[in-house]
Amino acid sequence: MALLIRNARVYAPKDLGITDVLMAAGKILAVGSNLTVSLPDLETVDAKGKILTPGFFDQHIHVNGGGGEGGFASRTPEIMLSELVKVGTTSIVGVCGTDFISRSIENLLAKVRALSIEGVSAWMYTSNYRFPCTSMSQRVAQDLFLVPECLGVKIALGDHRSSFPRPDEVLHLLSDIRLTGMITGKGGVLHVHMGDIPGIFDMFLSFEKGGFPIRHIRPTHCSRKCEVYEGSLEFARHGGFVDYTAGFSCNGSTANDITEAIASGVDPTRITMSTDGHGSMPRFNEKGEMIGLATGGVGGLLDTVRDLIGNHGMDPSLALTFDTTNVADALGLKDQGRVETGACANACLFDENWNLTDVVSKGRFLMRNSEVIVKGTFEE
């Protein structure tokens, strides 16, 4: 079935003005004014007065649940498709967390494939907090090579729950990831959960000084602590990518993280954000003892875009990049996070006040007129 959306104000994320968008077979076939189209089973939607953007891309989300730090009852649940649809997220990268025993990488892959079948674009990172890394095959390089959905490796550093590999061990892992990425044509990234213990960014910059391309190093949770945030700014000014967890900020808000980073001289194309959705959000006292626990939501990308546009006065063509094109380009997925010919047919429609009304994923409406119309397999 083909879909023609007419007369929307299109941010691709570049502002294209009032434009038509034609989709079919899961791809965007044409973007332009007053398109003339003759296709069988064509559905035409008049989006006059609405804003059309790319679908959002969340690159750190616990799709098969996270948690476990507080015992068996603290394991967070798997995500449901409708949770993503309600907030305009059409592309995701699934991750594992602290539980390296009962949350297997095979289970993560199965959930990623299930979400892809149900309607969104889905990938994953292999491993979790642990070092040596947890893999599905003999080693993580083989996971990258053998599994199309596997874009890189996750590890935790500088966290009291993490392993503590030596710098040479981290560099050896990075080398394997980089080379396997070159062989497979993938970006090849080490996705790093950043803890509070200082010195990790210094280690990364020492790798760059030694000749290693730091674009393969992808720190996340870069603003939960002010010391980590300051380190992320220096890392980004050296050309690294930094990822801020939407809704968890030492600066008051993720919008503040982003605007202050840009003001400090960080290239905006080096900034991304993600939600840590369905991860556990533990609170620890000064002794490292857990004193509280919550489940991470998935709506932070949408909330932060609204904050950047509505409260910070940022141009939408820039505000949208942090969870669309920047994420896609950093991961080497050039058909994601954009509204252009040949891209995956993902889009969000908003009213003039940036209230989300419709979501299209792979060329199919999943939400229409603010109502989710496609739900996951086991949703009522």
Q: Per the annotation, does 98 bind a ligand?
A: yes
Q: Per the annotation, does 193 bind a ligand?
A: yes
Q: Is 276 a catalytic residue?
A: yes
Q: Which of 102, 50, 173, 144 is nearest to 332 (CA)?
A: 144
Q: Per the annotation, does 216 bind a ligand?
A: no
Choose the catalytic residue: 276, 307, 329, 358. 276
Q: Per the annotation, does 265 bind a ligand?
A: no
Q: Per the annotation, does 299 bind a ligand?
A: no
Please give the single-letter amino acid code of residue 62.
Answer: H
Q: Per the annotation, does 154 bind a ligand?
A: yes
Q: Per the annotation, does 310 bind a ligand?
A: no
Q: Per the annotation, does 62 bind a ligand?
A: yes
Q: Per the annotation, does 125 bind a ligand?
A: no
Decide if 181 contacts 145 (C-beta within 8 A).
Answer: no
Active site residues: 276
Bind-site residues: 60, 62, 67-69, 98, 129, 154, 161, 193, 221, 224, 276, 280
Bind-site residues for substrate: 67-69, 98, 129, 161, 224, 280
Bind-site residues for Zn(2+): 60, 62, 154, 193, 221, 276
